[in-house]
Amino acid sequence: MKICIYGAGAIGGYMGAKLALAGVDVSLVARGPHLAAMRDKGLTLLEHGADPVTVPVTVSDDPASLGHQDFVIVTLKAHSVPGIVPMMQPLLGPNSSVVSGVNGVPWWYFHKIGGPLEGTRLTSVDPGNAQWDGIGPDNVLGCVVYPAAEVSEPGTIRHIEGNRFSLGEPDGSKSDRAVALSNMLKSAGLKAPVRPKLRDEIWVKLWGNLSFNPISVLTDATLEVLCTDPGSRAVARAMMVEAQTIAEKLGVKFPIDVDRRLDGGAAVGAHRTSMLQDLDSGRPMEIDALVGSVKELGLRTNTPTPTLDSVLALVQLRARSAGLYS
């Protein structure tokens, strides 16, 4: 079985290192100094409580050099994916599956969901239908990514916490391909449950991302502060309640309530969210996938989202002012 990880940054690099160490036929698509370091010295993984380990990897910035794959696992930021769909094509054979390990509402969300919104396409996450037409929803396998990791220096991944990658078919079936990938990831020491209702997990993760991330950008606050300060907590809570109303109209069930989710964010401590880290580093932020997509779903379901709309407008302006959003 051949696996290609498209976007071998922190999460993709962590998964790639674990698979390579397990002897899986895995290749990585990367670029810049990180690519050069992996080519020259291999990929180094730093895990808590373990000695650093370096493994040689197949890595390239030219997907055409890697050939057809059984699985292409996409671990890029959501806004980067539509633009790389043409470059991904040489990896896709007649039996290839694309695993969407991307934050936010996925572009395939309404594929095989049933009901009046079946087949709806989301312009906020898939402008011009680039992924729907270039990958095809029948070829996608969903994935919710839980690990935290960072590229501590080019060619080196520091794993912070978590090792679960939940998988799921759009129709909720336990397909042969989902089980095959799950077993492959498990062989590398990762958790990879196949979920019949992956959309529920998508929303629980998104619940925090859609509120904590933009508020942190506007306030420069860590999770601990924004989830305990009465004012910012109230704004986050209102956004989450609006999102929950949308999700429940779409058939999603939340296993915890909003206050427990907020308390969980506070318990993470003095953590700067990924969107705030992107602002700090001058990188484009996942505003459309994490917040704009929820606004779009509110319009699709006739659900008012006044708090979310206000925060979205402010964080878009903040990002434009920094030259990080168009």
Scan for tokens 């993984």, then name that residue: 45
Q: DSSP string spanning 12-39?
A: HHHHHHHHHHTT-EEEEE--HHHHHHHH
H-only helix segments in 9-129? 10-21, 32-41, 81-88
Catalytic residue among 2, 112, 191, 205: 205
> In 75-195, which ranges are E strands?
92-100, 140-145, 148-153, 156-161, 165-168
The domain segmentation of the chain, as residue ranges, is 2-196, 199-321
**Contacts of residue 89, Cβ cutoff 8 Å, sequence gap at least 6:** 63, 134
Cβ proximity of 218 and 291 under 8 Å = no
In the sheet where 92-100 sits, what is the strand order? Answer: 58-60, 25-29, 2-6, 69-74, 92-100, 140-145, 165-168
181-201 residue pLDDT tens: 999 999 999 999 999 999 999
Q: Do domains 2-196 and 199-321 have the same CATH topology?
A: no
In the sheet where 53-55 sits, what is the strand order? Answer: 53-55, 43-46, 156-161, 148-153
State yes or no: is 295 an active-site residue.
no
Q: In the Cβ-directed half-sphere of 219, how many Cα atoms lie within 13 Å?
A: 22
Distance CA 87, CA 90 (A): 7
What pLDDT score was predicted for residue 225?
Answer: 97
Nearest to 252 by CA among 237, 240, 268: 240
Which one has a higher pLDDT value, 209 or 48?
209
169-185 residue pLDDT tens: 999 999 999 999 999 99
Q: Two tokens at 46? A: 């730093």
Read off the pLDDT of each residue in 272-281 and give the average, rounded to a whole number.
92
pLDDT band at residue 203, thresholds of 50, 70 and 90? very high
pLDDT band at residue 318, thresholds of 50, 70 and 90? very high
113-128 residue pLDDT tens: 999 999 999 999 999 9
Read off the pLDDT of each residue in 268-286 and give the average, rounded to a whole number.
92
**Contacts of residue 246, Cβ cutoff 8 Å, sequence gap at least 6:** 294, 297, 298, 301, 303, 305
What pLDDT score was predicted for residue 300?
Answer: 96
Q: Is the pTM of this model over 0.85?
A: yes
What pLDDT score was predicted for residue 232?
Answer: 98
What pLDDT score was predicted for residue 49?
Answer: 81
- What angle, rounded to 10 degrees, do the helices at 230-249 and 198-219 form? 150
What's the CATH fold of domain 199-321? N-(1-d-carboxylethyl)-l-norvaline Dehydrogenase; domain 2 (1.10.1040)
Residue 67: strand pairing partners = none
Instruction: Determine whether domain 2-196 maps to CATH 3.20.130.10.
Output: no
